[in-house]
Amino acid sequence: MAGKTLENLFLDTLKDIYYAERKIVKALPKMARGAQSPELKAAFEQHRDETEGQIERLQQVFELLGKRAQGKTCAAIEGILEEGEEILEEFKGQPALDAGLAAAAQAVEHYEISRYGTLRRWAQVLGMDEVVKLLDATLQEESKTDETLTKLADQVVNEKALQAA
């Protein structure tokens, strides 16, 4: 039996993030509907559009590798999204809802940033220059989304949650 290689690990992790992105794109509209702040709602809607582009980039990566685009169940994203669902249910209509949704969305972003950073580095090591470019584009978007969520938390949603306390 051949040993598992970095290429195998890269492909497994690629399948993981592909699954995660497809789950995220389905969760974002629900988060947008649940958000009370127009700014947070808009951020979720914008990120949904970006996520669709990220899925397309991942499909391009699979194509470059000569593989069929397919996901592999990602327990981590399942758990993170479940926490977001709990916040939506437990804090519905409450002043702290948006602060909780922003935090849940940042947990998603941090997971994605971690995965894309790792995949980009492995692609560099494996000499996959075109793949590096695609993954880097997504990594930059995820980092920007994280910054946007931090700004919204600091300037809008945390303050509203605090004032209502």
Query: What is the per-residue pLDDT across 30-74, written as a single tens digit (0 to 9) for each?
Result: 999 999 999 999 999 999 999 999 999 999 999 999 999 999 999
Contact 101, 35 (CB under 8 A): yes
> pLDDT category, 1, cuts 50, 70, 90?
low
E strand segments, 5-155: none
For the stretch 73-132, pLDDT in tens is: 999 999 999 999 999 999 999 989 999 999 999 999 999 999 999 999 999 999 999 999
**Stated pTM of the model:** 0.94
Q: Which residues contact 104 (CB under 8 A, 6 or more apart)?
A: 31, 80, 83, 84, 87
Tokens of 117: 């950073």
* Integer Cα distance of 95 and 139 in angstroms: 32
Superfamily holding 6-163: Ferritin, core subunit, four-helix bundle (1.20.1260.10)
The pLDDT tens digits for 115-158 are: 999 999 999 999 999 999 999 999 999 999 999 999 999 999 99
